[in-house]
Structure 1
């Protein structure tokens, strides 16, 4: 079994693949944890013979187990309906069912209560699953029929009865809608009994479910059962910006969570003077500009000096107001503003020991530093080798220069030899001349 989004077919859900037991509990909306399940009843006490059964989108009903069936949470049962029977899942048993019925003002009268017929057979489950598969295409056609008849309504969901003998259409509308012609069209097209049920916008969001701006599932679809009216004054008391996009939920109405902390804010504001009361001083009249509910501070500015704000406490503001009622004026707000001392931030000591609580929060050192160090060492090696090579080259150059200079210098021995050779070459010429003579 699973929710409608899982699209269960042949026992294998296609969506969350958790067989109706999602980790976020979205398949089982408004589930009650049975904390008495592991406790036995006192001697002589009989177990409470009423059972809580859940249907599509968190709809729950309470039935009397007249047949004394051995049921457990998760069993699929066939229950009594106005006409025919319905198919649901057991979600709660025992004494907690008595508590839930008392909280919802449901009487335990056996004559008025509905009954559980039997555990659902495979045939019952097949008929029920086949009817559930028809709901989505029927919803698309039903919306188109409502648009063609120009009815100011929105069909949000369709729920078939377990025996597929009746279909309940849930719709929302701002005003009263005459849908008699629409029912005739539905009966002619879908060939089943039709029931129209109007729900509010909050109930529609609770049935459909979703994720809120806080990142969690909607309160109305998980645990919230009573919908109280929410007004914009709740946002004003909490000093929230009156932005309808931020204050409105998925239902288009103000968020239910605006009422959660409203009582705490109202208790805190009892010690604050009204913001429209002006403070009379000898320097001038001061007007309230801002309040801090958490710290109990108020900011005032003199008329004509709107840029200069003076911060005082609520007790000081009440003291000035009491003096003004006695037709007395204080000198200025600066005298009171100087007395406001900022609270020092408390620094917590490490009592755990050497181990730091945030030791796992530090990111791991990347290998870039090691690579940079390696590159730096390699560059240094290259520089050293380059300097050594340059020294060798310089030494070789010096040796070459020395050799070249030594070659260029005239050698005395060589010069003498050359002179001798010249003389030896000249002598035969002289001899030939003498011979000719």
Structure 2
């Protein structure tokens, strides 16, 4: 900046609820955007706010808001000190409790008003109550009771539904914070004609904002639609043809295409705006075209445009629905497999039947072996190490019954009727089986 430059002596200060006002900086205090300053109050005292604009930008803002230098009378006192900030925070902490007490007093007096917000001044000497009401409200008795309760100066200010939504804030249907509570300062009137020009359905639930009025964003693109509608014929309901009357159904404003349809026919016929104007001129002269289907405009087929990537998409991370597609394909593959092959139980039964025929043990869990009682569980396990050698038992010779004497000599065998009795050495199982049978009683020989 040049050495002889004199900075603009007006600054803009922002307060609660998007309220902005201009103040004189006669002492040329160096201020930056966002600093807390103590400024002169509207009815005495001082208030605390944030600096929003300084320098030449304030001059441009004053021109936009049509504010002259003579209208700016209040001035800046100083930068906010620690004591000023602490007192200002204590005053802001009382706003919520004060608002609820004021609502209780208004209900006791049966006043048809809604107190939506309270704004304390920085020095904690004055409070401004913002309320909404359908008509005029006599709140003189309410002010007396509030002055006795809060011991401060009271100011009542009526606001509209839009201002109330701007002070309270919220999230709009677009998913973003409300325009009126962030950047919008001037509220322009919104009519249903703005919705008609943009071919929107006149549904009050969709067109109304949180304030209950028409959305302010309906005016944002209205000028663009009005410029596009200049080339489109207005107030056209039907076209006269030799086949019949074609009714107007729809208009694409930016593509400049109009759709018409014959009665009892579901197909819509697209026509260019220039051709519609020609047919309208023919109808005024008493002429009619043959059939609109012969003059229909061919719409370009909307084919999906392949996305050209400037990198190699290995994992497929450019798709937001890649996980959904993967799970959907997996479920489809599982369903196809279930339809192709029989259930697992039937399939296993066929396999086991084939293996039984071949002499192979079928698959599946082995049947449980019942162990004999009294046998230890570890008896089935073979001890580690070499397996002990087993000797084959020697074949037994036929034994001859008789007493055995010392020296290995046997006495004479027993005889029955002079014949020796020899016991055959048969199989052990046969011997046991013979032992189970009941032998007939034999007569013992009498002693001679």
**Equivalent of 1:212 in 169, 172, 191:** 172
The equivalent of 1:144 in structure 2 is 104
**1:105 and 2:70 equivalent?**
no
**1:281 and 2:241 equivalent?**
yes
**Equivalent of 2:22 in 62, 69, 93:** 62
The equivalent of 1:247 in structure 2 is 207
Q: Is the partner of 2:138 in helix, strand or coil?
A: coil
Aligned equivalents of 1:102, 1:395: Cα separation in 2: 101
Q: Is the partner of 1:147 in helix, strand or coil?
A: helix
The equivalent of 1:331 in structure 2 is 290
The equivalent of 1:91 in structure 2 is 52
Aligned equivalents of 1:307, 1:50: Cα separation in 2: 67
Cα distance, 1:340 vs. partner?
A: 3.0
> Relative contact order (C-alpha < 8 Å, sep 6+): which is higher?
1
**1:317 and 2:317 equivalent?**
no
Aligned equivalents of 1:145, 1:49: Cα separation in 2: 44
| Preserved contact between residue 168 and residue 195 of structure 1 (Cα < 8 Å) | yes
Q: Is the partner of 2:8 in helix, strand or coil?
A: coil
Aligned equivalents of 1:336, 1:395: Cα separation in 2: 79
Aligned equivalents of 2:117, 2:309: Cα separation in 1: 57
Aligned equivalents of 2:309, 2:107: Cα separation in 1: 69
Cα distance, 1:192 vs. partner?
A: 1.1
Aligned equivalents of 1:58, 1:358: Cα separation in 2: 46
The equivalent of 1:36 in structure 2 is none
The equivalent of 1:394 in structure 2 is 359
The equivalent of 2:6 in structure 1 is 46
Aligned equivalents of 1:168, 1:70: Cα separation in 2: 30
| Preserved contact between residue 13 and residue 50 of structure 2 (Cα < 8 Å) | yes
TM-score (ref. length: structure 1): 0.70
**1:189 and 2:149 equivalent?**
yes
Aligned equivalents of 2:269, 2:102: Cα separation in 1: 63
Aligned equivalents of 2:308, 2:207: Cα separation in 1: 41
Aligned equivalents of 2:238, 2:138: Cα separation in 1: 56
**Equivalent of 2:217 in 243, 251, 257:** 257
> 1:63–1:178: structure 2 CA closer, same or farther, 3 Å change rule?
same
Structure 1 unaligned blocks of 5 or more: 1-40, 373-378, 397-431, 433-437
**Equivalent of 1:234 in 188, 194, 219:** 194
| Preserved contact between residue 117 and residue 131 of structure 2 (Cα < 8 Å) | yes
Cα distance, 1:138 vs. partner?
A: 1.1
Q: Is the partner of 2:86 in helix, strand or coil?
A: helix
Q: Is the partner of 2:135 in helix, strand or coil?
A: coil
Aligned equivalents of 1:84, 1:263: Cα separation in 2: 46
| Preserved contact between residue 260 and residue 270 of structure 2 (Cα < 8 Å) | yes
| Deviation sequence 1:28-81 (CA, Å, 0-9, x none) | xxxxxxxxxxxxx24422222222222112212221112222323332221111
| Deviation sequence 1:276-320 (CA, Å, 0-9, x none) | 442111112222122222332222223x42544322222221111
Aligned equivalents of 2:229, 2:266: Cα separation in 1: 26
Q: Is the partner of 1:290 in helix, strand or coil?
A: strand
More helix by share: 1
Aligned equivalents of 1:357, 1:158: Cα separation in 2: 56
| Preserved contact between residue 288 and residue 300 of structure 1 (Cα < 8 Å) | yes
Number of aligned pairs? 340
Cα distance, 1:260 vs. partner?
A: 0.8
The equivalent of 2:319 in structure 1 is 361
| Preserved contact between residue 275 and residue 288 of structure 1 (Cα < 8 Å) | no
> 1:353–1:250: structure 2 CA closer, same or farther, 3 Å change rule?
closer
| Deviation sequence 1:329-380 (CA, Å, 0-9, x none) | 111222212x4343565846737365689754374789x99xx9xxxxxx9x
Aligned equivalents of 2:127, 2:86: Cα separation in 1: 17
The equivalent of 2:137 in structure 1 is 177
| Preserved contact between residue 313 and residue 340 of structure 1 (Cα < 8 Å) | no
Superposition map of 1:418-429 within 5 A:
none
RMSD of aligned Cα (Å): 3.2
Q: Is the partner of 2:206 in helix, strand or coil?
A: helix
Q: Is the partner of 2:231 in helix, strand or coil?
A: coil
Q: Which has the larger radius of gyration?
A: 2
